Structures are given as structure tokens and as C-alpha cells.
Chains A and B, each alone.
Chain A
Amino acid sequence: MRYTQLTDPQVHDMLGVIGVDTVDDLFSPIPPRFRVKGELNIPRGVSELELLEDTHQLASRNRDCTEQVCFLGGGAYDHFIPTLVDALAAQSEFLTAYTPYQAEASQGILQLFYEFQTMVCLLTGMEVANASLYEVASAAAEAVLMATAITGRRRILVAETVHPDTQRTLAAYMQQQDVEILTVPVRDGVMDEESLKQRLTDTTAALVIQSPNFFGCIERLDRIIPPVHACGALAIVSTDPIAGGVLKPPGAFDADIVVGEGQALGIPLQYGGPYLGLLATREKYLRKMPGRVVGMTTDLNGDRGFCLALQTREQHIKRERATSNICTNQGLLAIRASIYMAAMGKHGIGEVASRCFDKAHYAAERIAKLKGYELRFPKAPFFKEFLVRTSRGVDAVLARCRDRGILGGVPLGRFDERYADCFLVAVTEKRTKKEIDDLASALDAA
């Protein structure tokens, strides 16, 4: 049978050592009436060749982004992934290791996570970071739980410009905890600062805001965070780590907790997951932070080494009093992101961000000039993504683009009726001027 290596004579001998007659005897504690009679209703196993045919057949019925030109975003982006990322992350010492609980046998991965934590701090402008959470939406929920624990308050504000999946995830988590969520409305593509001030009170635990936000617009963190702090609440900022190459990171505006979607850092689209939840915060909140953390220490000889630190925050020690229930995290994606950040480096991250910025602005200018198209939020500054309104019918124009092999944008009607005539266009460093021009002409012809 595939993947097992015990032959029938060996099985026979092993049963003899155990002192039973049949393998079935080993299952004697399972009452007979609960035994599966016959076989499960699942096809029988197949050879590798047949499996490749089956999966290839399924894969080939998907039109992927390597054969089309992708302007889709909304939280998942078609960024360039250097060859090093796939090549080095695929090393099976990383792929087939467990969580590094046995430090001496896991120094490589531990050091790697330590470096990851450091680079996440550098990109977010924060003091400390953990070794990953699942993805951005649950990371935001964890950040809110952390904020309620720190402040002892049970009401949060969430900007309406935060990704809808994050908002829905927050709603599901907070409903369990009886934490009240108030939404702060959007105005001209960004959170309305006046409404924020009206809603902030001395019972507010935190504001959750995203910048660049779901519409691609850059929020005024410089003006938003001070009033949040003034009433003793925490500022939780969800960010795009790539944006740090052009924009000041949230830490520069005194954010208390930064979360982010790390997918842009060398992780393939994979239809939405697995991605990489980032969480960084102030040093003084380190012991309230969810998730694994690696620390540098020394060994018996005084040599430098690494191990999991502050495990007393975690579920395997603290059980119901843990800061979170997370156990398995996104280790391999943190490894990918590390290799990406190392390869891009200071220069590359600046280049990637600048290209995204320039190309997105070029695309926005081209599209806004077309008849029947305009920027939905022309006043708001943006980074790599912008919202387009069309009078020509969103589904129709995007279908036309698809016919030309262009994924032209994400229609927003599915999230919010108010944006039924809008689609979101993301432009990464991978898009060429010609591809942008092709998008513009496809839209124009639609």
C-alpha cells in the first residue's frame, strides 16, 4: 500500500511480539457496532500516474494568473516572487519539521523566525512581532482580544473601510465575547474622522483601521491615532507590508498593534490561502501578545542560540488563561516571507513599492480618462489599488476584459450594494505599461 513500508511477513512477526493474532485484535476496544462494515464510500487508491492525471485534469479547468493578466486585488495580490523563495522554502528540513519545541534540534527554523520577527518589526515600524498568525482577518480579531485584555474595555470601533472579510471575522469572534462593535462610516474613500471623534468614548477599547484600506486609499493615520489615544483606546492598524517601501509604517504614527496580510511577501495566490497573518506591537505588550515568539539566548557554553520564548502565554501551558488558542501557525509562509524580505532587501522593497505606486497611478490616470469611467474616490490618495466607477455595467466590462485574457478588477457589488457600479483595480510591479494600456483599451471597447 502507498507510503507504508511493513511487509506481510513483518506484520505477522510484529503481531507475534505484541502477542495478538490479527491486526483486528488491536482494535478490540472499539465496540463492534461502531465498526465500519466494508469500505468507506471513497474511491480506492490510485497510482501516482493516475493521481497526476486526475489532479492535472482538475487544475487545467482553472484559468490561472500565469495565462492571464491579473489586476485583481482586494487583499490578495499578484506580486513577483523571486526564484529563491520557492527554491529555498522547499527545502524539506523546513517543509517536514514540526514546531520547534526541541530547540537544539531546530536551531535553523528558530533563527529564521527570529529574523522574521525582526523584519516584520522593520516593515511595520513596531518594537516586537510574533512568529505568525493564520491570516489578516483572524489576526485582527486576535489584536482586538488583546486590546480588550489590555484596556479592560469591551467596545471597539471598526472603520467601514476595513476589508469586509476582516469585518465579518471580527463580528463572528466578538459575538462570542459580547464585545460590542461600532462601525465608523466612510467618507470620500477613507474613514470619516468626524464620525470617529463622535464615537470615541472612555469605554472604547480600540479602533480597527486599515491603511491602505479596502478601497486602496491611504488613511490619515497621523490625524486619526491621536484622538484614539486621547481617550485611552488602542489603535490597531491593518497594513500592507509592501506599502512600507513608500509610506511611513503604522509604527511611525504610534500605532499600538499592527496586523497585516503577509501574502504580498512571496506567497502565491493559491485562491486565498494559506496566507500569513502578521502581528506586531509595543514591547510593553509583549506578554499579552498571541502566538509563538522566538527569543535569542545562550547555551551551556555561552554560545548564542534560539528557542521559543514566553511560552507561558500559550495554550499548552496556560490552557484557558492563554492569550490565544493558536497552536499550529503559518510557519512555512513565515519562512517564505523571510526569504522574500531577505532577497528584496532594503533596496528591493523600496523598488517594488515604488513600481506599484507609479504603475497604479499611471493606470488610474489612463482609466479615468476613458468615457464612462471615473475614479470613485478622486480625492483620496492611494498606493497600489483604486476604485473605478463605470456607467457601462461592471459585469459587462469585466467580462469583456476576461475575453481578452485580462482580469480587470474585483466587482464590489458583491460586498456592498452602494458600490454595485464599481470595481477595484490593483496594479503590482509585475504589470507592464503595455498590459495597463491593454486594460484601458479593453475597458474602452467594452
Chain B
Amino acid sequence: MTTLRTSPLISRETTPLGPSLRSGDHPVLFEIGSPGLWGASLPESDVPTVRREAVVPKELLADVPPPLPEVGELDIVRHYKRLAHRCFSIDGNFYPLGSCTMKYNPRINERVAFMPGFAHVHPYQDDADVQGLLELLYRLRCDLAEIAGLAEVTLQPAAGAHGEMTALMIINAYHQSRGQNRTKVLAPDTAHGTNPASCAICGRQSVSIKAKSDGRVDLDDLRSKVDDDTAALMITNPNTVGIFDEQIADIAEIVHAKGAQLYLDGANMNAILGITRPGDFGVDCMHYNTHKTFSTPHGGGGPGAGPVAVAEHLRPFIPVPQVIRKDDGTYTWSDDRPQSIGKVRSFFGQVGILVRAYTYIRSLGCDGLRDVSEKAVLAANYLAAKLKDRYPTPFPPPHAHEFILVPQFGDSGVTELDLAKRLIDYGIHPPTMSFPIHHCLMIEPTETESLATLDRFVEVMLAIADEVEQNPAVVKSAPHTTPVRRLDEVAASRKPNVRWRAG
């Protein structure tokens, strides 16, 4: 085996050229600059200065502007440059973060989103001024309906969790239109945390159903819990342990028999694009995470978008306004949906993100989307196969686009957290940890990585397994190459310091 070198993000050692970039040495914004500096400029005022006290009650006027930092332009550039250097990113590192679909974010998406005709239009401009944008949104909503195999899509929700909430509101409105107020929502205990949290936001009680040891839904448990008071089952398929639950038709039947709705958390759509469609396997309603599946970037935690697709019977309830195509071929917004749940946010949605999603879908097309899922699933199964001797998977193959490991390090005392942190030393972002089951790592390589990258990951994982046997201390004390060592996260919550205070 070739020798693997750890690849420092930023060396913590002092370099011959000067001080290192240890975090403690890197000032926060409020420690740099000098009074009187600013990093921008404005033209001289060309209108008379209004005496503020003459037009606004003096009780409401500020004496001085808020004490924002005072820093010159170059030092601002350096500040943010240095901060950028202290981050892992897809562009810089393999990022197999399960459930998050950290695939390559094509540059073209950014270029298109910043075209002035998309970036600099005001939400209250006349429809006639934004026909191109409305057509784009209309095409996108049709494409997303087609990929889902469902009747209609709302583009309004801001992210996956917001989509879940919107969908539950739609489902509630549907039941209420039939004179029912159903108060329970079921979800497998392996569901993402947003699923039960969205139930709570919607005032529903979330009830968890068991997963069997093979990761599939326990149908008996499901049968015993769905009743006339059940609004919906929220399911993720392929599920969060990376398995397509082939009992899906039975699940749908059990749920529908009680008049409940089948909701799909679409976070894992990257595994099934163009291969199977949720609407075809019995789903009534689902959300997308455009920032995962359609590679609108994650941006350090957002923004995303969470379009919701619904079956025919749920169409009357989706948010307004909806972008529509008129008979004369022009596009507009329609508020005409008397049973709609209303609005879940301001304006129309995360339009700049939706432009990126459109660009991505057009770029790949039906053939490319299918290829995405084939390669994503291939890559995950390949890694699982290569790793299985040292890192067994609790759930048997075939896997979908991601898979789960539960590292067994015997009595070395090394934990999955240590393994995760050690990966950072090798320049690899840790997989998702301890979700959806304790002590696991969830690995999602995505379709965009090369074979060389996948193979290096395997080598690194095996090298760390060797380290655990030969030198567990180096793993337990990882990371060693980052600007800071392991952080005291407990103290950060026990005695929170969440803002800078001078002095």
C-alpha cells in the first residue's frame, strides 16, 4: 500500500515565515481595524439634509450609529480569506456526509443565478417584466412533478424541513376538508429529526414506529399504530439506513386503508432519479431538498429550497400564489385556490436557488439524472464492498446511495467520533455520525467522485483501522492538523458565549 500522508488543513506549527494560524492567533472582526475606518464608499449626498428631529420624534432617533466594526478594505479581504481557509468544502475535500448529498456544485449554476435578469429583479415587478423567470419557474415545477410522479409542485418552501411542515399543513387541510381532524403523525424511529419536529410545529403528535433489524419498517408495528386518528406516515425511501424498503406497496396500502396519507421525505432522491417515482409507489406528497439532489450548493448550511409535490387530491390545498401558464402562453401568479393553506413565507420562494435547480436539471436532462442515481448507488455499494472486512455494515447489500457502518474497535477505547476526527487529518470530511443509529457512520460518496478518490477513502479508512491497532492514541487525540484541537463543546453550551463583548 502506498504511504498515506495526512494533509494539513492549516498547520498549527509555527512556520518560518511568521506566526501560525492557530485560531487563538486569528483575531475576530472586532479585534481589528481602527476608529474612523470603513471598507466601502458612497457618493456625496445630492439632496438636502433633513433635520431629523423636525420629522421624527426625538425619542425614536439614534444618537450614534450602531457600533459595527471599523476596518479598512484590505483587512476585510484578508479576514474573510483567512476564514475561508479554515473550512472544509466539496471543492477542496472529499465530503461523504451521509444524508446530505455533498456532490459537486457545478459552477454554471452560480453563473446563471447571477445573470442580472435573475439576480436583480424585484418580487413586485409586473408579470410582464419577468416572463422569462416565470417560465423558468413553471418549467421547474413541471419537471419536479414529473420526477416525483405526482400531479403538482409548490416551489414556495425554503428548505427540506419547511417543505415537511408545508406538506403536513396540506395534509391537515385535506383531512379537515373531509370533516376530520386527525392528530397523529407516524414516522419510523430512524426518521430524521426534522420529521417529528415538523409534526410538532403543525400541532400534531408524532408517534414513532419501529424499524426491524434489517432496517425495514416493521409492518406489524405499523398496522398496530395506524388508525382513524392518523393523519400521515412520514417515510424516507430509500430510508435513512440506506436501503430501499421493498415493502413500500404494503406500507402504502396499510396507511391508505385507514384514510391516512403517505408522505415521503425526499432527502434521498439522489438514489432513485429516473429509476422509480414516489407517486408510482403510493406516495401522496413529498418534499425535495434542492440543495442535496439538485446540487444548489449548501452554502455553509443554506440556503436550500424544499419544493413539495402532491397527488391530485391534495392539489386544492397547496400554498398560494402558484405560477401558472395562461392560455395565451404567458405566465403569471394565481391566487385562485380557495382551500389553500395560504402562505408559508414571504414572496414566492427561494428563487435564486430554484434557478440553480432548473439549471442543474436542464444540464443533466432525463438521461443525466438517471445516470446520477446509477453512479451514486454504484459508488456507495463499491465503498461498502471494499470496506466490509474491516468495517462491517449492519444492513446487508444492496445499498442505495449511502450506507451505514458501525465501527468495532474492540477494547482500544477508540470511538466513531475519534475515527471521524482522524479522517479530518487525512483531508476527508467525516461522514454523518450517530444518525440514524447510535455509534454509526453514514457514508454517502455521491456520483461525482472519481474512482481514485473513492479508493483513497478506502485506503485511509483501512490505514486508520491499522492505527487503531498499533497506535490508538494518535486516533483518540485527532485531529492534529487543524487550526484548533478538539473543542470543548460541553462548555460552549453550559456557559454559552454567543456574541462578542468588547473589553
Contacts and interface: CB of A to CB of B under 8 A. Distances in A.
Contact of A27 (B100, B146, B194, B275): B275
Interface stretch (B126-134, B221-229, B255-263, B465-473): B126-134
B169 interface: yes
Contacts of A216: none
Contact of B160 (A29, A222, A298, A328): A328
A441 interface: no
A75 interface: yes
B65 A44 contact: no
Interface stretch (A194-202, A229-237, A332-340): A332-340
A104 B169 contact: no
B25 to A, nearest CB: 8
Interface in A338-381: 339, 341-355, 357-359, 361-362, 381
A64 B117 contact: yes
Contact of A317 (B61, B111, B192, B193): B193
Nearest to B372: A4
Interface residues of B, number: 210
A286 B494 CA distance: 12
A121 to B, nearest CB: 5
B345 interface: yes
Contacts of A63: 121, 125, 129-130
Given A42-B365, A108-B83, A103 B42 contact: no
Interface string A117-157: 11101110101110110111110000001000000000000
A445 interface: no
B47 A48 contact: no
Interface string A411-446: 000000000000000000100111010000000000
A295 to B, nearest CB: 4
Contacts of B361: 42
A114 B125 contact: no
B66 A245 contact: yes
B381 A26 contact: yes
A39 to B, nearest CB: 4
Contacts of B463: none
B499 A270 contact: no
A375 to B, nearest CB: 12
B287 to A, nearest CB: 12
B386 to A, nearest CB: 6
A128 B396 CA distance: 47
A314 B193 contact: yes
A394 interface: no
A269 B47 contact: no
Given A245-B65, A312-B493, A177 B203 contact: yes
Interface in B276-326: 276-277, 280-281, 289, 291, 295, 297-305, 319
Nearest to B206: A320
A354 B56 CA distance: 13
17 contacts: A1-B371, A18-B397, A45-B366, A84-B40, A88-B84, A97-B298, A131-B301, A138-B345, A221-B60, A247-B61, A270-B113, A310-B498, A326-B162, A327-B192, A345-B37, A358-B45, A358-B47
B9 interface: yes
Interface in B17-65: 22-24, 26, 28-30, 33, 36-40, 42-43, 45-50, 52, 55-57, 59-62, 64-65
Interface in A33-61: 34-36, 39-46, 48, 51-52, 54-61
B108 interface: yes
B251 to A, nearest CB: 12
A45 B345 contact: no
A347 B38 contact: yes
A378 to B, nearest CB: 11
Given A107-B483, A135-B158, A346-B70, 11 more contacts: A3-B103, A45-B367, A97-B90, A99-B301, A105-B88, A108-B84, A306-B487, A308-B489, A309-B496, A319-B196, A362-B48
A298 B28 CA distance: 14
B236 interface: no
B39 A343 contact: yes
B247 to A, nearest CB: 10
Interface string B84-110: 111111111101010010111110101
